[in-house]
Amino acid sequence: MFHEIINKEEDLSKEEIVYLLKFSDKNELHFLYQRADEIRRQFCGDGIHLRGILDFSNYCEQNCLYCSLREENISLERYRMTPEQIIEVVRAASAQGIRTIILQSGKDTYYDTDVIAYILYQIKQSTDLAVTLSLGPRGFDEYKAWKMAGADRYLLKHETANSELFTYFTDGLIRGNERIQHLRFLKRLGFQTGTGSIIGLPNQTIEDIADDLVLSRELDVDMAVFSPFIPSAFTPLQNMQICNFDEAIKTIAVARIVLKNCHLPAVTGLDILNKAGREIALKSGANVLMPNFTPEPFLTKKRLQNFSNKRYPDYTSPQHEISVKLERLGRFLSIDRGDSLKKSHLVK
């Protein structure tokens, strides 16, 4: 049954996905990772895409229970970068060879439609970068304006496909998962879209994680980010249990088998659970790394958001050093923008 499911050509059912996520036979589990790696090679090749993240503001108008940026976290030292600072960092990242930048913040409407459009326009005039926005749920008219100003992609994780849990984790303020509607709208506008969820949230079941994978497949996203739950300091969930590493890796492997031609990052949080976390993920289905390009002093403030405040190899070092690291895994640093692998986006 196990081998039949991992080798199946057709879409897996939810029950089959649950079966794989629950599979724990130590003598057989490596076949799951091998199969995910094979599918990754078949659909994505051996290139690894770097997507530089710039966390330009940690102000947030939302109150998600798991997130250190939540508005009620008065212990967090807040910062905002100016448009000029943002544009300068992005140009420097481009000069270093980065092909995609993710502009990320809390939900911070201080950066209104025009300011974000101005930043996009300036970046697009002076670099050939793909620009991803990760600004949380914003107005539909804003999405339209930003697409016209040159944004290529929008990353909006649905966080959990379980709508009761979603309402609970968003502090009861949001009924139903509005993010799903936003993702559908973004796709219609021609954005390459990214979704994903947090793995190991309190009270989340394996069935919920299977629903996350089914939803990501149904939304036909170009990237899916599955990150382990890491309890953040000064949040209501700070004393909850951290995600189990094996569960996080298994989710990425099963996601590859389910989603096939979709970019799947090995997120930095995996290195908190296991020193070789991201490398293991890259060997189990992942094909993207997201190094952080947030400059000092903002980066230190960002790191202090977590209990750990550890430093991890951030893959922001010169490109040849990264290439050497990746060659050891039998992979190479991709020099293309890492656009959508879906046909609908390739035919332009």
Q: Determine the interface stretch with ligand SAM among 10-18, 90-98, 155-163, 310-318 (rule: CB under 6 A).
A: 155-163
Q: Which of 20, 119, 123, 198 binds ligand SAM (CB under 6 A)?
A: 198
Name every residue whose Cβ is closer than 8 Å to that of residue 76 and which is 6 or more positions away in sequence: 58, 68, 69, 234, 305
Site string for ligand SAM, 226-265 (x = CB under 6 A): -x-xx-x---------------------------------
Q: Which of 67, 130, 183, 282 binds ligand SAM (CB under 6 A)?
A: 67
69 scored as a contact of ligand SAM (CB under 6 A): yes
The residue (of 34 and 109) whose beta carbon lies closer to ligand SAM is 109
134 scored as a contact of ligand SAM (CB under 6 A): yes
Q: Read off the tokens for 218.
A: 């149904």
- Cβ(201)–Cβ(66) below 8 Å: yes
Please give the Cα distance from 225 to 216 (Å, whole number): 10
Q: Determine the interface stretch with ligand SAM among 21-29, 88-96, 153-161, 213-221 (rule: CB under 6 A).
A: 153-161
Q: Least distance (Å) from ligand SAM to the CB of residue 118?
A: 20
Q: What distance lies between CA 144 and its chain's CA centroid? A: 22
Name every residue whose Cβ is closer than 8 Å to that of residue 75 and which is 6 or more positions away in sequence: 233, 234
Residue numbers 46-65 binding ligand SAM by CB under 6 A: none
Please give the Cα distance from 253 to 21 (Å, whole number): 9
294 scored as a contact of ligand SAM (CB under 6 A): no
Q: Which of 35, 99, 147, 157 binds ligand SAM (CB under 6 A)?
A: 157
Please give the Cα distance from 98 to 89 (Å, whole number): 11
Please give the Cα distance from 303 to 330 (Å, whole number): 31
Q: Where are the alpha helices (DSSP H) in the chain?
A: 2-6, 14-22, 29-44, 83-95, 113-126, 140-148, 163-169, 178-188, 206-219, 245-259, 269-273, 277-282, 298-303, 319-327, 343-346
- Cβ(53)–Cβ(294) below 8 Å: yes
Helix axes 29-44, 245-259, angle to 10 degrees: 50
Q: Which of 12, 40, 54, 66 binds ligand SAM (CB under 6 A)?
A: 66
Name every residue whose Cβ is closer than 8 Å to that of residue 124 and which is 6 or more positions away in sequence: 131, 149, 150
Which residue minimizes CB distance to ligand SAM? Answer: 136
Q: Which of 6, 156, 183, 288 binds ligand SAM (CB under 6 A)?
A: 156
The residue (of 134 and 177) whose beta carbon lies closer to ligand SAM is 134
Q: Least distance (Å) from ligand SAM to the CB of residue 60?
A: 6
Residue numbers 104-133 binding ligand SAM by CB under 6 A: 104, 106-107
Binding-site residue total for ligand SAM (CB under 6 A)? 17
The residue (of 5 and 223) whose beta carbon lies closer to ligand SAM is 223
Site string for ligand SAM, 158-197 (x = CB under 6 A): -x--------------------------------------
State phi, psi for 220 to the nearest 5 degrees: 55, 50
Mapped onto helix, strand or coil, the DSSP state of residue 131 is strand
The residue (of 107 and 187) whose beta carbon lies closer to ligand SAM is 107
21 scored as a contact of ligand SAM (CB under 6 A): no
The residue (of 17 and 69) whose beta carbon lies closer to ligand SAM is 69
Please give the residue ranges that form the binding site for ligand SAM (CB under 6 A): 66-67, 69, 104, 106-107, 134, 136, 156-157, 159, 198, 227, 229-230, 232, 269
